[in-house]
Structure 1
Amino acid sequence: MALFDLPLAELREYRSASTAPDDFDAFWGKTLQEAREHDLDARFEPVDTGLSTVRVYDVTFAGFGGHPVKGWLRLPAGAAEPLPLVVEFIGYGGGRGLAHEKLLWASTGRAHFVMDTRGQGSAWGGGGGTPDPVGAAPAYPGFMTRGIDAPENYYYRRVFTDAVRAVEAARTHPLTDATRTAVIGESQGGGITLAVGALVPDLAAVAPDVPFLCDYPRAATVTDRHPYREIGLFLKTHRGRAADVLHTLSYFDGVHFAARGRAPALFSAALEDQTCPPSTVFAAFNAWAHEDKAIEVYDFNDHEGGGPFQEAHKLRWLRSYA
């Protein structure tokens, strides 16, 4: 796929037309307050993986509604003092995978926490283990329109709340240093990272790669690739509901979270990315509130983005923060 979105010079100036609801902050403040009424109840159970350089813990904590959410905590073997913490969120359809996967960040001497995504984990990878016990009104298959009838019911309200609680849970382990916490993720994981970057006030660094869940008004019309296409296909059947749908989505738009970003950030975008069009990524990057921010651009890549090249860049970048 050749370049299909705005030229790079225009991307660097692009601003989303999406408008945050007046009660955006109140909505999220109430949501997190309600979640914290449930005991976090973070439990770390050692797993025998056969690995000699990394220790792995099977983690369960209380997320949205007190629902149990799974994760993995990986620590360098022999760690005795609190370590910088990297919390990672997963791409669309994937789960936390298997205990022996994702060893990079623990290999750098950091603690690494991977959150399972409720209801997902059956599309690729090693699977997941967190159900989503909440029902929803009629929706198009996938996750993008589940509960889209109202912000209070929307699927990503639960996921973003789980993610904030995941950071809180990981920080309770005695071998994690809460003052040196970074959050990272690709695609859907990048969109979740943006939300956490706004909702957790004391992060050391934020690194969203080719983030999903940004600039919904443009994303829903500029690409016909899933998952954004789920929104259009829902509206194809539910005619005349576009304004209501976009109102719900405005509470979950990465652009509005970015405007409340409180930590140094490293983004990445791919100019041939039809899944998360570069204009939607730049919309979030350009809105990111913290002045210490950078974006890596991959000219001839689709949604794979920078892949291992971006991974190497993050390894270098994160040394200054966590």
Structure 2
Amino acid sequence: MALFDLPPDQLRDYRSRSEEPEDFETFWADTLAETRRHDLDARFEPVTTPLTTLDVFDVTFAGFGGHPVKGWLVLPAGTSRPLPVVVEYLGYGGGRGLPHTHLLWGSAGFAHFVMDTRGQGGGWGGGDTPDPVGSASAYPGFLTRGIEDPHDFYYRRVFTDAVRAVEAARSHPLVDATRTAAVGTSQGGGITLAVGGLVPDLAAVAPDVPFLCDFPRAITLSDRTPYREVANYLKTYRGRTAQVARTLSYFDGVHFASRGRAPALFSAALEDRTCPPSTVFGAYNAYAGRDRTIEVYDFNDHEGGGPFQEAVRLSWLPARLTS
């Protein structure tokens, strides 16, 4: 697959044309205040596993609307003092899966909190968190659920769950709340950017090949799902383009990036047709924090850097969490 997006030198200067709604701040402040009326009710149940170097807890906490959201908390075995925590968000269609698939951060000496994504898990991993909220007609997938109105949009619930996941992780006595990082790849990267814009005191964020960024460009450039779901929806529901664009503007990673202050490590892949590199750079170039860097993988598709990017994270993140 050849390069298809902007030339690399132009990516560094690219600016998204996504328009931020005037009530963006109010919308999210009201959404989080509404959810915080529900008790967080974070519960951590020890799980017996064959893992001898890690301790695992089955987590339940109250997310959007007070709905129960699942997760895993993984700690180095025998931890007796509070540790910095890495809160991880998952890719599109996947669920939290089984504990032994989450070994990296606990093995590196951190607390690791993995949030299940409501309604997902049928594609890979397996999920344990239903989404009890229905929606009007939608194209198969998640990206057009409730897309007629930002208050009903699926990702309003997911982003709110993600903020509550940080709060749940920080509530555990073996977590040092002052040293919290958010990480994720693809959909997880987009959720990470949202959390970075909504939680002001994170120590670091690391969004890899993030989805949910620069919607005006993404939905007209990418011919793959999930972005293609929006085009297919509009192919059926003609005349709703402006309405859909307005909804998506409340969830665009570009606008969350403009509020992010924590040190940030991005990644982009120049042959990525799922999350085109210009959409990633649209968020990266809007990022407000001064300590930001981006790893670029010249000949990779949506797999991005894969284990190479994991190695970059493992060398980059400790300095932000252990100082």
How would you bin the TM-score normalised by the shorter chain?
A: over 0.9
Deviation at 1:180, TM superposition (A): 0.6
Q: Deviations over 1:217-265 (max 9, x none)?
A: 0000011111000000000000011111000000000000000002010
In structure 1, what is the equivalent of residue 290 of structure 2?
291
Q: TM-score, normalised by structure 2?
A: 0.99
Counterpart position of 1:214: 213
Letter in 1 for 2:92: Y
Report the CA distance between 1:46 and its aligned residue.
0.4
Match of 1:40 in 2: 40
Distance in 2, Cα, partners of 1:100 & 1:187: 21
Q: Does residue 181 in structure 1 map to residue 180 in structure 2?
A: yes
Q: Which segments of structure 1 move beyond 4 Å, counting only runs of 4 or more?
A: none
Partners of 2:205 and 2:140 lie apart in 1 by: 31
Q: Distance in 2 between matches of 1:262 and 1:248?
A: 25
Aligned pairs for 1:115-154 (under 5 A) are 115-125=115-125, 127-154=126-153
Using the TM superposition, give the Cα deviation of residue 185 of structure 1 relative to its aligned residue in structure 2, in angstroms. Answer: 0.1
Aligned to 1:80: 80
Q: Secondary structure at the match of 2:151?
A: helix
Q: Residue 155 of structure 1 aligns with which residue? A: 154
- Residue identity opposite 2:68 in structure 1: P
On the 8 A contact 2:189/2:208 being kept in 1, the answer is yes
CA contact (8 A) 2:183 2:189 kept: yes
Q: Distance in 1 between matches of 2:20 and 2:177?
A: 30
Structure 1 portions without partners, runs of 5+: none
The letter of the residue matching 1:69 is V
Q: Separation in 1 of the partners of 2:77 and 2:106?
A: 9
| C-alpha contact (below 8 Å) 1:47/1:99 kept by paired residues | no
> What is the CA–CA distance in structure 2 between the aligned matches of 1:161 and 1:319, rounded to whole Å?
27
Q: Is the 8 A contact 1:220 1:229 kept in 2?
A: yes
Structure 2 counterpart of 1:251: 250
Partner of 1:200: 199
Q: Which residue of 2 aligns with 1:59?
A: 59
Gaps of 5+ in 2: none
Deviation at 1:319, TM superposition (A): 1.7
Distance in 2, Cα, partners of 1:320 & 1:77: 22
Q: Distance in 2 between matches of 1:204 and 1:236?
A: 42
Cα drift, residue 99 of structure 1: 1.8
Query: Would the aligned equivalents of 1:2 and 1:272 in 2 still touch at CA under 8 Å?
Result: yes
- 1:3 and 2:3 are equivalent in the alignment: yes
The residue type paired with residue 124 of structure 2 is W
Aligned length: 321
3-state SS, counterpart of residue 101 of structure 2: coil
Separation in 2, partners of 1:309, 1:101: 18
Distance 1:87 1:138 in 2: 33
Percent identity between matched residues is 75
CA distance in 2, matches of 1:192, 1:273: 19
Q: Are 2:201 and 2:262, in contact at CA under 8 Å, matched by a contact in 1?
A: yes
Instruction: Give TM-score, length-normalised by structure 1.
Output: 0.99
